């Protein structure tokens, strides 16, 4: 889908026309002319209520925190919102050992002269992009300090050794926070108070089926439902801490279906896409059992795809 087709798609998904009109007005008031493209993401986000809440918050100028377990579509939602606002996205991952100078930028030598090399946050807030602060709860304190003036009413970036920079007015922030059953690093209150929060629902059977049918229009209807049920089984075992999050991999499930379409058996494909990601033998056996209960290992293209 192009960005335009994706925006139209949401009209059909029941996103309110007034809200779509407000988003269109935002795009018109803030036309994007930069080099970076506004790309439509791989998937639409399925979940009209969440999409409505999130888009409303961003149109109101709020910073958005998406909190939820793995594979609830946090990053996909952020990408969808960027398309609706017509601004490109900068993804800043806090998962790695990110420090302030990486985020903002630093002085470097170029041809014997000192010059400032901007970091991703600097680039994003000068261009007025959508800044995804990914897994913000993993950030080191030093990196968090940068965010405080950025995210409150000052809307300024302090560049050490240089001036304060006012954010481009179209700049929006979407933070994501993974929390699981194996413990969560929390955000401090000062930072949390700068956000509105959406707790991301776990995709249920209907969202999963829509997603599968979107990706594979020729997937048999009954199989689509089986796949959704299978993924929910895996999630249940994950929540009960019987398996880790490794096999709870929606991307891996889609990949497995792609392999089946190209001729592998369900057993081979699911082992490569999902259960092979469990390196603990016992866990792998358990994940394999869960799948075998729903899906015969010798099924292939004919049983799974129509036509
Ligand atoms: N409601 C949803 N709508 C669309 N895709 C979803 C949804 N929930 C989960 N997904 C899918 O789950 C996978 C992981 O999504 P991602 O955004 O990376 O999740 P998270 O960041 O929450 O771990 C993607 O393939 C995405 O398409
Ligand atoms: Mg994510």
Nearest-CA residue for ligand 1 atom 4 is 45
- For the record, the structure tokens of 129 come out as 């992009």
Ligand 1 and 47: CB distance under 6 A: yes
pLDDT of residue 303: 96
Strand intervals (E) in 200-268 = none
What protein residues have CB closer than 5 angstroms to ion ligand 2?
A: 74-75
pLDDT of residue 211: 92
* Closest listed ligand to the CA of 200: 1
**pLDDT above 90 as % of the chain:** 65
Sheet holding 64-68, edge to edge: 89-93, 130-134, 172-178, 64-68, 196-199
Q: In a mutational test of the pocket of ligand 1, which residue from 15, 71, 174, 216 has the highest number of ligand atoms less than 8 Å from its CB?
A: 71
Read off the pLDDT band of 180 (50, 70, 90): low
Crossing angle for the helix pair 141-151 and 120-127, to the nearest 10 degrees? 10
259 or 102, greater pLDDT: 259
Return d(Cα 158, Cα 143) in angstroms, integer.
Answer: 12
- Break the chain into its structural domains and give their ranges: 3-199, 205-304
pLDDT digit string, tens, across residues 58-105: 999 999 999 998 889 999 999 999 999 999 999 999 876 788 888 999
* Closest listed ligand to the CA of 228: 1
Read off the pLDDT band of 215 (50, 70, 90): very high
Ligand 1 and 211: CB distance under 6 A: yes
pLDDT of residue 98: 86
Q: Relative to the CA of 76, which ligand 1 atom is closest? A: 17
234 or 145, greater pLDDT: 234
Q: In a mutational test of the pocket of ligand 1, which residue from 42, 74, 75, 76 has the highest number of ligand atoms less than 8 Å from its CB?
A: 76
Residue 188 half-sphere exposure toward CB, CA atoms < 13 A: 10
Answer yes or no: CATH 3.90.1150.10 is held by domain 3-199. Answer: no
Q: CB neighbours (10 Å) of residue 289?
A: 11
User: By C-alpha distance, which of 290, 222, 287, 301 is closest to 256?
Assistant: 301
Q: Relative to the CA of 77, which ligand 1 atom is closest? A: 17
DSSP-derived pairing of the beta strands 105-110 and 113-118: antiparallel
C-alpha angle with apex 233: 229 to 235, nearest 5 degrees? 115
251 or 55, greater pLDDT: 55
pLDDT of residue 146: 84
120 or 94, greater pLDDT: 120
pLDDT digit string, tens, across residues 24-37: 999 999 999 888 98
pLDDT digit string, tens, across residues 271-288: 999 999 989 999 999 999
pLDDT of residue 182: 56
Q: In a mutational test of the pocket of ligand 1, which residue from 10, 46, 49, 72 has the highest number of ligand atoms less than 8 Å from its CB?
A: 72
pLDDT of residue 181: 55
43 or 261, greater pLDDT: 261
């Amino acid at each position: 889908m192009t960005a335009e087709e994706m925006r139209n798609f949401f009209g059909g998904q029941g996103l309110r026309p007034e809200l779509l009109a407000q988003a269109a007005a935002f795009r018109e008031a803030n036309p994007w002319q930069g080099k970076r493209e506004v790309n439509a993401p791989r998937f639409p986000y399925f979940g009209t209520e969440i999409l409505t809440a999130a888009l409303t918050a961003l149109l109101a100028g709020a910073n958005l925190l998406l909190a939820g377990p793995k594979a609830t579509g946090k990053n996909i939602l952020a990408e969808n919102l960027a398309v609706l606002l017509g601004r490109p996205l900068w993804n800043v991952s806090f998962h790695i050992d990110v420090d302030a100078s990486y985020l903002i930028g630093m002085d470097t030598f170029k041809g014997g002269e000192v010059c400032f090399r901007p970091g991703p946050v600097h680039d994003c807030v000068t261009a007025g992009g959508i800044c995804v602060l990914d897994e913000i709860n993993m950030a080191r304190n030093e990196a968090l300090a940068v965010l405080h003036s950025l995210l409150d009413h000052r809307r300024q970036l302090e560049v050490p050794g240089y001036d304060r920079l006012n954010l481009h007015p179209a700049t929006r922030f979407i933070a994501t926070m993974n929390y699981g059953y194996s413990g969560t690093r929390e955000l401090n209150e000062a930072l949390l108070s700068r956000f509105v929060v959406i707790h991301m629902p776990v995709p249920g059977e209907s969202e999963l089926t829509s997603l599968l049918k979107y990706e594979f229009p020729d997937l048999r209807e009954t199989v689509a439902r089986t796949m959704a049920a299978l993924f929910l089984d895996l999630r249940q075992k994950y929540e009960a801490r019987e398996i880790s999050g490794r096999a709870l991999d929606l991307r891996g499930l889609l990949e497995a279906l792609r392999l089946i379409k190209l001729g592998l058996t369900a057993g081979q494909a699911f082992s490569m896409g999902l259960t092979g990601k469990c390196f603990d033998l016992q866990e792998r056996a358990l994940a394999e059992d869960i799948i075998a209960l729903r899906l015969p290992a010798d099924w292939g293209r004919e049983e799974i795809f129509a036509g």
